[in-house]
């Protein structure tokens, strides 16, 4: 690139106080855990052991070419039914089998083969996504100062790579130099810790001169460092370069999958590659997940195995008894011609042999095609999810994708959602919306929370309009209601130019009109604080001339944009000064002012404030401070509280509107006071003692006191489109929502307010750990006891709370969470968390996210869903029962580790409430029906064998039995699993409480399962008894002959086909032409099969030759028996569903009746009332927020009215919402 580097004048190392002395040099060579040796620019040195390190190739697949066959077979035969059928298929090769080998081997081969093919197809998609990442290109040093592009997977340890602006780092790199003169670069770590604000990285001064490609021609060095580990925020090592040894720390490490921003290029040496990189060390192997329905299905199969074994033992005993006592009299069996399987004198061995025969004969109780049918159904369900146009994001062009179909039904049973924040809930875009200056509130635009709240209240007031008219009207009460109406009716009529980060509207401050306001000096000071108190860097766009700001946080950027729009533009920064262009000056001309930066006191989650000490052009020294209102108010001087009361009221209003607030204050300093303080500050700053941070904090506290309040800001954190509505709908569906974020506590709390996980009046339980800097040895135990006390006190407070509307929110930081997740603490933490309406975990590491997810999953025993968009979310996505990845623009790590991927958080509502509800009910109903039809069919074999003296004789032809599950009943049950809908998607969204049918497992509980098993037993008894009674002694042909076994078997099988297909027709709620085709087509297929099979020569068809044409069709008794058996078998289920719908209807039954009779159109009021009933009572979401505000308004309304009437006024508003 030659010498085209940026000569940046700014040295951040001289500006930021968090830049401090490098750690002392430690000899890490040879220590346990510190054995890695890297030869810079000499990758060939790492080709042999012990220096042969992993390649940079990554894989997230479950299989590879060599492991697919053994692992896939193991997965298939991990299913108990498949093991049974494998054994049965092998036994069918012996004389003990009542069936031909092909009738046993063919279904097993089809089932296992199709399932393995599906697994291969899904893993192929993962492989292609891995290939996309591994094929990314980056510039690598080839030698002699020449760089060339190479795929990521070809990068080796020791390579020197050159990453260009907006590129991702291909591996963990040691940062050598950049396009900036002082060796800094900006890095976005969203994929690692979820934060979008930029981090500053600094190279060693000794390597910062390696500023172009040619510089690396003879570059060499040796790095000795820690071994691969998952810690994202630590690094220990050193580099030997030019015969000197330099210590390395995390500020020189560029981690894989982080992104280079606002820096033209950087050079780095590869330290960790592939699965050795820190981000991959934080990921775990893709687990094999199984749904709860499938696990329960295994238990049902074990029950059927028990039934199978029981009737097989009964059959074996019956055969032995018959053989012992009756067979000697059966001369036609030639009892004297004995063998191992027939010996009346020794019935024990034949009885044991018959046990094997019976186990094979009654094997149709176990539905072999169930697994295959479920695989097919889930695959088709996944296609419907992928093709859902309502989950397609038009902006990015990304659809929803089911990356595995094994967990479709699990989507309908979710109890707890664990969500990342940044990039998942929020866009991390802040808009300056309101402010309070000198006790006066400015800003007329309503927040998203206010608009939604007012909209809901207007709807409720409209419903009660007639009743409200009867309330005595007082002119003093009217403004209360009108205030809400103003908010409701507010719409944005002016289509002004949209300014990113600035949504403020108030003519009193815009266009310089603030100069006409009272307290103009305070207002100008407010704007100066916004423009000066920050760490941002301005960037001038040479093409447009616009200035953009690179800030450490999005709200800081919003403040600068607001200051610019108010006429105080932050235009440039030097090493020691910031320059502000004041547009609306009293002279009428813009002027530029310089403020010298004397000190910067950083914002931390503990301090909750940031201050800057500056000297203006007049030589006066000021401290400008912004921070949490509780912190600032505690530090105000007596004469600095003039606006405190008014500002506090405005802050409460802003908080209620879901806005993020900060208070602004200042202090004027004397020269001597500042000089004395600064000496102490510099002494603490340069200290290398263990308590350095404590000293800095203490000295900062000394300066940040006796402040004068100026005002407060209110910014709106722009949530992703539809997030509040989605959370509200999920809450109404009865789902619990936890937020796990790497952000600081204040940020997370504000987001909680923005998306209505938190609200005014909700009692916040904040769990934090004591500061343990350089304290006694038993500090750990003291901290644990303190946290345990916080848990105990909070739990007690929740138990003693008597207000039914009271809501609690648990907020815990990462340090406290470290202790809370230990074995002796985690159950206390979980108990407290479950008792709270919402839970927010802050400053959590990727590993902690996974541990919290595991705790919730195992501790509650309920289904968990984790959703995130970055590599830092991979652990929890894989740990949860269901992992959902957001297909954002910032990498694909989360998506590749997920089970389902969506483009925006809002699509989670439809994925769960619609597809989850449908898939759960479809799979549950399908499995119950499958067991029913196999029991109804399989038990007839047992009854007939008992009827035939336990001879091991099947009443059905082998080909009938082979076609039963594979052909004749396969398609109707698949149509049930794919197309069934109890209600439409629109109804699912309007009645979110329907979702609770899944978590409560109403359609797959043991009562329903045994009910269907009982239905199968009932049907099998009716089918067998009626057929035997009718055909046993009745003439079948006109000539008076009775039916033979082939006729009885064909008739009985015909009855089974009719019974199970009519049963599924009664079971289905939503018919399409496909269901009709499959159900009635299956019955027609049976008759066609009988016709064609009867045409096959007798050597193959045997006794079934021409059976339909010559025997069954001409006989009226065949048709009447089929009709009688079909009606008798299904009358019981028809009676049951009629009783249930009329006497004890379920929620979806009521909705179906309303829709069928079109009451939703004829009686809108009734429909609205039913909709309001059909939501779970919740304390989070917009709905809960509106209800809480309405309760507050009712109290105010009643008080206002009572002041005029002398007694409380009873109004409809007094009813509980």
Query: Which residue numbers are catalytic?
Result: 420
Question: What backbone phi and psi angles, to 5 degrees, belong to 948?
Answer: -95, 20
- Please work out, in degrees rounded to the nearest 5, the angle formed at the alpha carbon of residue 6 by the alpha carbons of 2 and 7: 110
Q: What does the alpha-carbon distance between residue 75 and residue 154 come to, in Å, rounded to a whole number?
A: 33
- Give the C-alpha separation, 489 to 39, whole Å: 68
Contact of 368 with 81, CB cutoff 8 Å: yes
Burial of 1084 (0-12, 13-18, 19+ CB in 10 A): exposed
DSSP code for 1043: P
Torsion of CA 931, 937, 939, 944, to 10 degrees: 180
- CA-based nearest residue to 684, from 675, 694, 674, 695: 695
- Residues 1153 and 210: their CA atoms lie apart, in Å, by 77
Residue 918 in tokens: 């449908």
Q: 409: which DSSP letter?
A: G
**Distance between CA 1160 and CA 1173 in Å, rounded?**
15
Structure tokens at 1071: 């018919």
Query: How is the beta sheet containing 863-868 ordered, strand by strand?
Result: 401-402, 900-902, 882-886, 863-868, 414-419, 736-740, 838-842, 808-813, 763-767
Rounded CA-CA distance 847/190 in Å is 16
Q: What does the alpha-carbon distance between residue 224 and residue 992 come to, in Å, rounded to a whole number?
A: 58
Parallel, antiparallel or unpaired: strands 547-550 and 237-241: unpaired
* Beta strands at 160-164 and 265-272: parallel, antiparallel or unpaired: antiparallel
Three-class DSSP labels, 133-200: HHCCEEEEEEECCEEEEEEHHHCCCCCEEEEECCCECCCEEEEEEECECCCEEEEECHHHHCCCCEEE
| Spatial strand order in the sheet of 591-601 | 440-442, 426-437, 708-719, 660-669, 621-627, 609-615, 591-601, 577-582, 568-573
Beta-bridge partner residues of 841:
740, 812
Q: What is the C-alpha end-to-end distance of the chain, expressed in Å?
A: 68
Compute the C-alpha angle 1033/1035/1039, nearest 5°. Answer: 145
Closest CA to 196 of 188, 204, 186: 188
Which tokens sit at 353?
């042999």
Token pair 């007798």: residue:
1098
Q: 1205: which residues sit within 8 A by CB, 6+ positions away? A: 472
The DSSP secondary structure of 474-533, one letter per residue, reads -TTTHHHHHHHHHHHH------PPPBTTB----TTTGGGGGGGSSSHHHHHHHHHHHHHS
Residues 6+ apart with CB under 8 A from 8: 180, 181, 182, 184
Nearest to 1130 by CA among 963, 961, 982, 936: 936
Residue 234 CB coordination number (10 Å) = 11
| CA dihedral angle for residue 460, residue 464, residue 470, residue 472, rounded to 10 degrees | -10
| Nearest residue to 841 (alpha-carbon basis) of 859, 853, 857, 831 | 853
- Residue with token string 């990758």: 43
From the number of C-beta atoms within 10 Å of its C-beta (0-12, 13-18, 19+), residue 1176 rates as middle
């Amino acid at each position: 690139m030659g010498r085209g580097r940026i000569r940046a004048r700014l040295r951040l190392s001289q500006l930021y106080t968090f830049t401090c002395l490098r750690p002392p040099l430690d000899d890490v060579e040879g220590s346990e855990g510190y054995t890695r040796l890297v030869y810079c620019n000499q990758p060939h040195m790492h080709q042999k052991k012990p220096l042969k390190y992993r390649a940079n190739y990554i894989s997230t697949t479950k299989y590879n070419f060599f492991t697919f066959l053994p692992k896939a077979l193991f997965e298939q035969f991990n299913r108990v039914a498949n093991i049974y059928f494998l054994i049965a298929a092998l036994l069918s090769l012996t004389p003990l089998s009542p069936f031909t080998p092909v009738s046993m081997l063919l279904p097993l081969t089809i089932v296992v083969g199709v399932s393995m093919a599906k697994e291969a197809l899904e893993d192929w998609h993962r492989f292609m996504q891995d290939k996309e990442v591994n094929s990314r290109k980056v510039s690598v040093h080839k030698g002699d100062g020449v760089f060339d592009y190479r795929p990521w997977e070809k990068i080796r340890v020791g390579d020197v790579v050159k990453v260009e602006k907006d590129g991702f780092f291909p591996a963990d790199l040691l940062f050598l130099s950049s396009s900036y003169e002082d060796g800094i670069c900006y890095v976005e770590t969203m994929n690692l810790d979820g934060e979008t604000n930029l981090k500053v990285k600094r190279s060693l001064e000794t390597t910062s001169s390696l500023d172009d490609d040619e510089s690396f021609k003879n570059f060499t060095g040796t790095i000795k460092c820690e071994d691969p580990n998952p810690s994202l925020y630590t690094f220990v090592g050193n580099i030997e370069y030019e015969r000197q040894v330099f210590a390395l720390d995390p500020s020189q490490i560029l981690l894989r999958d982080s992104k280079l921003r606002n820096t033209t290029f950087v050079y780095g040496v590869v330290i960790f590659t592939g699965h050795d990189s820190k981000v991959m060390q934080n990921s775990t192997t893709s687990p094999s997940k199984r749904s709860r329905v499938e696990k329960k299905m295994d238990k049902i199969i074990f029950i059927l195995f028990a039934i199978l074994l029981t009737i097989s033992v009964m059959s074996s005993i019956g055969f032995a008894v018959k053989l012992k006592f009756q067979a000697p009299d059966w001369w036609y069996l030639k009892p004297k011609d004995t063998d191992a399987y027939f010996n009346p004198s020794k019935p024990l061995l034949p009885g044991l042999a018959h046990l094997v025969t019976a186990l094979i004969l009654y094997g149709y109780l176990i539905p072999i095609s169930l697994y295959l049918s479920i695989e097919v159904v889930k695959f088709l369900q996944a296609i419907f999810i992928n093709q859902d146009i309502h989950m397609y994001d038009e902006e990015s062009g990304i659809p929803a994708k089911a990356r595995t179909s094994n967990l479709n039904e699990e989507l309908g049973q979710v109890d707890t959602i664990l969500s990342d924040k940044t990039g998942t809930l929020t866009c991390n875009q802040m808009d300056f919306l309101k402010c309070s200056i000198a006790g006066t509130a400015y800003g007329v635009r309503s927040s998203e929370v206010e608009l939604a709240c007012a909209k809901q209240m207007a709807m409720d007031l409209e419903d009660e309009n007639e009743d409200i008219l009867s309330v005595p009207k007082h002119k003093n009460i009217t403004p209360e209601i009108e205030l809400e109406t103003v908010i409701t009716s507010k719409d944005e009529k002016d289509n002004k130019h949209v300014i990113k980060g600035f949504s403020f509207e108030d003519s009193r401050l815009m266009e310089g009109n603030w100069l006409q306001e009272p307290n103009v000096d305070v207002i100008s000071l407010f704007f100066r604080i916004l423009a000066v108190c920050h760490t941002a860097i301005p960037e001038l766009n040479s093409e447009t001339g616009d200035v953009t700001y690179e800030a450490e946080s999005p709200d800081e950027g919003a403040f600068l944009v607001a200051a610019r729009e108010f006429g105080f533009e932050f235009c440039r920064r030097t090493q020691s000064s910031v320059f502000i262009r004041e547009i609306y000056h009293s002279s009428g001309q813009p002027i530029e002012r310089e403020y010298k930066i004397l000190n910067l006191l950083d914002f931390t989650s503990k301090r909750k404030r940031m201050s800057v000490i500056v000297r203006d052009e007049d030589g006066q020294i000021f401290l400008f401070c912004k921070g949490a209102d509780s912190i600032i108010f505690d530090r105000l001087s007596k004469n600095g509280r003039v606006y405190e009361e008014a500002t506090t009221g405005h802050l409460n209003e802003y908080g209620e509107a879901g806005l993020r607030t900060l208070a602004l204050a200042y202090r004027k300093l004397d020269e001597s006071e500042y000089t004395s303080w600064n000496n102490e500050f510099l002494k603490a700053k340069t200290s290398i003692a263990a308590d350095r941070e404590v000293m800095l904090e203490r000295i900062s506290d000394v300066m940040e006191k006796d402040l004068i309040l100026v005002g407060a800001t209110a910014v709106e954190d722009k949530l992703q489109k539809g997030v509040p509505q989605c959370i509200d709908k999920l809450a109404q569906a009865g789902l619990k929502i936890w937020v796990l974020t790497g952000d600081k506590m204040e940020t997370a709390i504000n987001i909680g307010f923005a998306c209505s996980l938190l609200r005014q009046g909700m009692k916040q339980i904040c769990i934090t750990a004591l500061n343990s800097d350089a304290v006694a040895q038993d500090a750990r135990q003291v901290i644990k006891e303190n946290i345990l006390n916080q848990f105990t006190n909070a739990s007690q407070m929740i138990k003693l709370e008597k207000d039914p509307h009271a809501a609690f929110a648990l907020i815990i930081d990462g340090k406290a969470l470290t202790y809370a997740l230990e074995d002796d603490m985690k159950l206390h933490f979980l108990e407290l968390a479950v008792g709270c309406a919402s839970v927010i975990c802050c400053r959590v590491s990727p590993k902690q996210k996974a541990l919290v997810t595991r705790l919730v999953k195992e501790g509650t025993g309920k289904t968990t869903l984790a959703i995130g968009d970055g590599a830092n979310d991979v652990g929890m996505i894989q740990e949860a029962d269901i992992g959902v990845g957001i297909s954002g623009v910032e990498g694909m790590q989360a998506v590749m580790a997920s089970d389902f991927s969506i483009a925006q958080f809002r699509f989670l509502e439809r994925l769960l409430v619609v597809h989850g509800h449908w898939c759960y009910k479809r799979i549950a109903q399908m499995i119950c029906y499958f067991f029913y039809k196999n029991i109804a069919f399989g038990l007839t074999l047992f009854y007939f064998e008992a009827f035939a003296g336990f001879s091991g004789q099947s009443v059905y032809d082998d080909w009938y039995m082979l076609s039963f599950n594979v052909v004749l009943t396969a398609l109707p049950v698949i149509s049930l699993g794919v197309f069934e809908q109890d209600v439409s998607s629109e109804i699912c969204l309007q009645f979110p409480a329907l979702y609770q049918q899944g978590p409560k497992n109403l359609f797959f509980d043991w009562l329903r399962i045994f009910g269907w098993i009982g239905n199968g037993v009932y049907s099998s008894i009716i089918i067998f008894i009626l057929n035997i009674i009718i055909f046993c002694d009745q003439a079948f042909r006109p000539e008076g002959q009775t039916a033979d076994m082939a006729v009885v078997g064909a008739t009985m099988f015909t009855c089974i086909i009719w019974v199970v297909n009519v049963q599924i027709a009664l079971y289905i709620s939503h018919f399409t032409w496909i269901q009709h085709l499959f159900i009635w087509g299956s019955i027609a297929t049976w008759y066609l099969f009988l016709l064609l099979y009867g045409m096959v020569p007798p050597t193959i068809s045997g006794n079934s030759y021409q059976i339909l044409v010559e025997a069954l069709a001409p006989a009226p008794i065949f048709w009447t028996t089929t009709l009688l058996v079909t009606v008798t078998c299904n009358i019981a289920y028809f009676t049951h569903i009629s009783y249930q719908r009329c006497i004890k209807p379920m929620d979806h039954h009521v909705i179906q009746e309303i829709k069928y009779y079109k009451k939703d159109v004829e009686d809108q009021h009734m429909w609205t009332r039913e909709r309001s009933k059909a939501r779970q009572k919740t304390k989070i979401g917009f709905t809960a927020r509106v209800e809480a505000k309405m309760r507050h308004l009712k109290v105010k309304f009643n008080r206002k009215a009572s002041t005029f009437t002398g007694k409380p006024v009873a109004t409809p508003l007094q009813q509980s919402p």
